[in-house]
A and B are shown apart, each in its own frame.
Chain A
Amino acid sequence: MAQRNLLAVFLAACAVTVCAVRDGAAAGDAAAGRRKALMCQTCHGLDGRAKIPEAPNLAGQSAVYLGKALKDYRSGARKNDMMSIVAPALKDEDIDDLAAYYSSIEVTVAPPPK
């Protein structure tokens, strides 16, 4: 009985954690990120679907991944003709907001038609 209670507590805690990660709210502000994404829209789209062949889709991408990618472009650890130009101007807060926005876009996937 005690064990079952423990499990319930654990599950509830888990749900809260997952919730926080899913919202991306732990770090960034998705609404502010959408406004800042005006600088990203021509390549990655405001909907997170790439508009040019050389850019990746960002919709639904993990905020952790997006934050690391932007910081790596900012520091020079990663280089790209376009990203190395825009990333150095971003503050930590901008990166968190952008990562929160793009990760918050819901995507659905389907296997390719047989």
Chain B
Amino acid sequence: MHKRTMLAVSAAVLLASAAAFAQNNPGNLEKLGQFKTTGASPNIPTIPQGGAKAEAIKKNLTKIKLPHGFHIGLYALVPDARHMAVGPQGVVTFVGTRKAQVYAVTDRSKSGVAEEVKPFASTIDLVIPNGPCFSKDGFLYIVEQNRVLLYPAAEFFYESPDVVAVPVVPQGQLIPKDDESYNHTARTCRVGPDNKLYITLGQPFNVPAPEKLEGFKKLGIGGIIRMDRDGKNREVYAWGIRNSVGMDFNPKDKTLWFTDNQVDGMGDDIPPGELNRATKAGQNFGFPYYGGGHTRTDEYKNETPPADVVFPQVETIAHAADLGMTFYTGKMFPKKYQDAIFSAQHGSWNRTVPVGARMMVTYLKEDGTAEKMEPFAEGWLDENGEYLGRLVDVAQLHDGSLLVSDDFAGALYRIWYDGK
């Protein structure tokens, strides 16, 4: 009897400690898909706003240079903030991370500063949930390292820790489990004008070995894939891409633009980063034969590249890490910026003199090709080469102002224009 009690006690202890390590039962996803509750506490702890950290960031923002008439302010403190999706109601912005959280950022009064930041879908164990995107009709998709979940009506359900979640691509089916890596697995997504779900899939290597190429090409790893919104009819939309971490459709001509991060270890000044334009399905963007722009990789310099390689619209400064991007469709900014592309340079990680950590703007010509890219907001890299922030993504709010995420400071900034 005594022994049995002991056993019960140790089992209880074991259970309790297991719960402390992995709070979430894998069965939770199944329950949520059936509109059942997991029994989690309805009180989700919020991320404190304000305080010394907010003051330090606000002070840093006074050093940011913008064109005349533009202003930047702290919108929210969001730890590890990566890619963003602004809700169709304009109330909640969902922010991914490269860790295990997604945050819901709320500005109910539309004051230009968020009132509340709290974890989203906290009863589901998420793995590198970097890429949220909305469909026009309000369905939120979040692409993780190796899964895609759909959250219907997320903008209404976000206040509970239990949100309805439906697998679009179940765990382990986005890429083969053996190809899971920490490297280049921050995904992004968009719902296209054809109502399909588009996903950027970075390949995990600096330059992949030749024997990996065939399998990668079949699955669109090192490319952009698309599928129906229920996950069916998956196909490779674009290939020959090293690691794209940002894309958007030009609302005017429906072409898909995307950034691509290029090869490391070839020196400080090559190869260039890329801003690309896919005009139709099936195009090849040159990697790994080209390591960025027209620079051939050492590993494939003796191979003949495909004849139909599509070269970038813009070659960007080497190693600046061009990530998230958005077409500006608002009316708040002057005419010059309307229909332009705003994109974020994360900043170099291994260049002897760091570059990047700034926001860029790309103007397009009448024919829909790029005219030029230039810096729009700068100052997150100080005179000593130390980072004050590293920018990840740009998203447009309903009033035409822009949000910019920073995963170094752990913040969202808002940029607005008043001409003064």
Give the B-binding residues of A (Cβ under 8 A).
38-39, 41-43, 46, 51-54, 81-82, 85-86, 88
- Residues of B in contact (CB 8 Å), total 25
By a CB distance below 8 angstroms, the chain B residues around A39 are: 350-352
Q: Does B182 lie within 8 Å of A53, measured CB to CB?
A: yes
- Does more than half of chain B's interface fall in helix, strand or loop, or is it mixed? loop
* Contact of A46 with B386 at beta-carbon distance under 8 Å, contacts A54-B182, A85-B206 already known: yes
Q: Which of A42, A53, A54, A88 is within 8 Å of B347, CB to CB?
A: A42
Cα–Cα, bound, A39→B128 (Å):
25
Q: Does A38 lie within 8 Å of B354, measured CB to CB?
A: yes
Cα–Cα, bound, A53→B80 (Å):
10
Q: Does B349 lie within 8 Å of A38, measured CB to CB?
A: no
Ranked 10 nearest A-B pairs via Cβ: A54-B182, A42-B349, A85-B265, A81-B183, A38-B385, A85-B264, A86-B350, A53-B99, A53-B98, A39-B350
Cα–Cα, bound, A81→B264 (Å):
10
B71, CB-defined interface residue at 8 Å: no
Q: Which of B181, B348, B353, B390 is within 8 Å of A81, CB to CB?
A: B181
Q: Which residues of B180-215 have CB atoms within 8 Å of chain A's CB atoms?
A: 181-183, 204-206
B387, CB-defined interface residue at 8 Å: yes
Q: Does B265 lie within 8 Å of A38, measured CB to CB?
A: no
Other A-B pairs beyond A41-B386, A85-B350, 13, CB < 8 Å? A38-B354, A38-B386, A41-B387, A42-B354, A42-B387, A42-B390, A46-B386, A53-B98, A53-B128, A81-B182, A82-B183, A82-B264, A85-B264
Cα–Cα, bound, A48→B337 (Å):
40
By a CB distance below 8 angstroms, the chain A residues around B206 are: 81, 85
Q: Does B182 lie within 8 Å of A42, measured CB to CB?
A: no
| CB closest residue in chain B, given A36 | B352
A-B contact pairs, 26 of them (CB 8 A): A38-B352, A38-B354, A38-B386, A39-B351, A41-B354, A42-B349, A42-B354, A42-B387, A42-B408, A46-B386, A51-B408, A53-B98, A53-B99, A53-B182, A54-B182, A81-B181, A81-B182, A81-B183, A81-B204, A82-B264, A82-B349, A85-B206, A85-B264, A85-B265, A85-B350, A86-B350
Chain A nearest CB: distance from B83 CB in Å? 15
| CB closest residue in chain B, given A39 | B350
Hey, what's the 0/1 contact readout for B87-131 against A, CB within 8 Å counting as 1? 000000000001100000000000000000000000000001000
By a CB distance below 8 angstroms, the chain A residues around B348 are: 42
By a CB distance below 8 angstroms, the chain B residues around A41 are: 354, 386-387
Chain A nearest CB: distance from B17 CB in Å? 12
By a CB distance below 8 angstroms, the chain B residues around A52 are: 98
Cα–Cα, bound, A68→B95 (Å):
39
Q: Which residues of B17-47 have CB atoms within 8 Å of chain A's CB atoms?
A: none
Chain A nearest CB: distance from B297 CB in Å? 13
Cα–Cα, bound, A81→B207 (Å):
10
By a CB distance below 8 angstroms, the chain B residues around A43 are: 349
Chain B nearest CB: distance from A71 CB in Å? 18
By a CB distance below 8 angstroms, the chain B residues around A85 are: 206, 264-265, 350
Q: Which residues of B382-416 have CB atoms within 8 Å of chain A's CB atoms?
A: 384-387, 390, 408
Most chain A CB neighbours (cut-off 10 Å) among B98, B128, B350, B353:
B350
By a CB distance below 8 angstroms, the chain B residues around A42 are: 347-349, 354, 387, 390, 408
By a CB distance below 8 angstroms, the chain B residues around A81 are: 181-183, 204-206
By a CB distance below 8 angstroms, the chain A residues around B265 are: 85, 88
Chain B nearest CB: distance from A42 CB in Å? 4
By a CB distance below 8 angstroms, the chain A residues around B352 are: 38-39
Cα–Cα, bound, A42→B352 (Å):
12
Cα–Cα, bound, A82→B204 (Å):
11
Cα–Cα, bound, A38→B128 (Å):
26
Chain A nearest CB: distance from B225 CB in Å? 22
Cα–Cα, bound, A72→B59 (Å):
41
Q: Which residues of B308-333 have CB atoms within 8 Å of chain A's CB atoms?
A: none
By a CB distance below 8 angstroms, the chain B residues around A54 are: 182-183
Most chain B CB neighbours (cut-off 10 Å) among A39, A42, A86:
A42
Cα–Cα, bound, A36→B405 (Å):
27
| CB closest residue in chain A, given B185 | A54
By a CB distance below 8 angstroms, the chain A residues around B128 are: 53
Cα–Cα, bound, A69→B387 (Å):
25
Cα–Cα, bound, A51→B81 (Å):
12
Hey, what's the 0/1 contact readout for B343-375 against A, CB within 8 Å counting as 1? 000011111111000000000000000000000
Cα–Cα, bound, A52→B408 (Å):
9
Q: Which residues of B242-285 have CB atoms within 8 Å of chain A's CB atoms?
A: 264-265
By a CB distance below 8 angstroms, the chain B residues around A38 are: 352-354, 384-386
By a CB distance below 8 angstroms, the chain A residues around B350 are: 39, 82, 85-86
